[in-house]
Amino acid sequence: MTTRITSRRAAVRAASPPARRRSRGGATSGAALYRQWWTPLLWTAPAIAVIVGFGIFPFVNTVVLSFTDARPLGGGGSWVGWENYARLLTDSAFWLATRNSIFYAVVAVPLLVVLPLVLAQLVVTRIPGIGFFRTGFYAPVVASMVAVALVWQSLLSERGPVNSALQQFGLISSPIPFLSDTTLLLLSAIALTVWKGLGWYMIFYLAALANVPKELYEAAELDGAGPVRQFLHITVPGVRLTMLLIAIMSGIGSLRVFTEIYVLGGATGGLGGQARTLPFYIRDTALDPIAGNAGYGAAVSVALFLLTVGLAVLSHRLGSEKEEP
């Protein structure tokens, strides 16, 4: 009898599927047992290679290059230490470009934070035909900056439609030098930047406004609050984080402005280069094949990077202070 029971147990064990083996960490058998620790790195390797090749390496190379006197075409260059950075402190052209960049950001950022919010508030209402206006406001975003700047250049020239219309209406006696006066050139470029960025940042605000509870507007309306009070006390606090994000994004974009100045003011950046911004000055100092100094241009690039980081930190600090009760 015992022999029969033993033989039956052996037959059942032989017929049953083998038990899954367990790894040292307790995981069952399967793909996990044959997956090496470096397998996930294979999937992320292309993205890591792009980040390293087009982000980290150029940044490190620029920092190293800023301590040399390398030429644009010759390459190499000898080590000069902090000489390029000491030169920045006494370079009047650098400080002029820095002042223009800061002026550009100080004027453009508030406009790009406030105007798209007002625009989004106007088009957020769901009424027939509102999609046409949303598309129209967003259309400048998809247009090429060079093409748009060329149109603005023809509009603002001394013989352009703007000056001609103002003269015909008797508002001015002589053409306004939009493209030759330094201040007016910077303001014209700022107007172009703001006009082209309105639709882009409007999309951010439309997404933020969709998350503001409608009950707040209904309660405020019952309490007798008008549209202005609802906008100031409900809409603005509800999209404050989006305003901070747009302030940082537009600030970084304003410090990197180049095309607007180049197309409107010409290859010199206005008369005598008086309207040059820091990216414009970097091009002139680092990429000139005859008198250029890639090492000094790299030092200016590092200074622009530090200025951009400082603006971003300042915007974040101001936004965090407003968030505190």
C-alpha 77/C-alpha 228 separation (Å) is 61
Going by C-alpha positions, the residue among 270, 303, 299, 265 that lies closest to residue 285 is 299
- Portion of the chain with pLDDT greater than 90, in percent: 43
* pLDDT recorded at residue 4: 53
Label residue 23 by pLDDT band (50, 70, 90). Answer: very low
* pLDDT recorded at residue 5: 47
Contact 324, 89 (CB under 8 A): no
* Per-chain mean pLDDT for the chain: 84
* pLDDT recorded at residue 147: 92
Range of the domain at 212: 83-323
User: Does any domain span residue 11?
Assistant: no
User: Does any domain span residue 307?
Assistant: yes
* pLDDT recorded at residue 301: 93
C-alpha 313/C-alpha 228 separation (Å) is 31
Which token pair is 204? Answer: 């951010």
Mean pLDDT on 87-103? 93
Q: Which residue has the higher pLDDT, 4 or 318?
A: 318
Domains contained in the chain, number:
1
Residue with tokens 């748009």: 148
Amino acid letter for position 230: Q
User: Does any domain span residue 121?
Assistant: yes
User: Does any domain span residue 65?
Assistant: no
Label residue 22 by pLDDT band (50, 70, 90). Answer: very low
User: Does any domain span residue 26?
Assistant: no
Label residue 212 by pLDDT band (50, 70, 90). Answer: confident
User: Does any domain span residue 295?
Assistant: yes
Q: Which residue has the higher pLDDT, 9 or 127?
A: 127
Label residue 43 by pLDDT band (50, 70, 90). Answer: confident
Give the CATH number of the domain where residue 254 resides: 1.10.3720.10
Contact 158, 175 (CB under 8 A): yes
Label residue 56 by pLDDT band (50, 70, 90). Answer: very high
User: Does any domain span residue 126?
Assistant: yes
* pLDDT recorded at residue 86: 93
Mean pLDDT on 287-303? 87
Mean pLDDT on 244-264? 92
The span from the first CA to the last CA of the chain, in angstroms, equals 84
* pLDDT recorded at residue 324: 54
pLDDT at 26 over 90: no
Which residues have CB under 8 Å from 107's CB, separation 6+? 187, 190
Question: Which SS3 state, helix, strand or coil, does residue 80 take?
Answer: coil
Amino acid letter for position 96: L
Going by C-alpha positions, the residue among 275, 273, 274, 283 that lies closest to residue 304 is 283
User: Does any domain span residue 159?
Assistant: yes
* pLDDT recorded at residue 8: 52
C-beta atoms surrounding 140 within 10 Å: 16
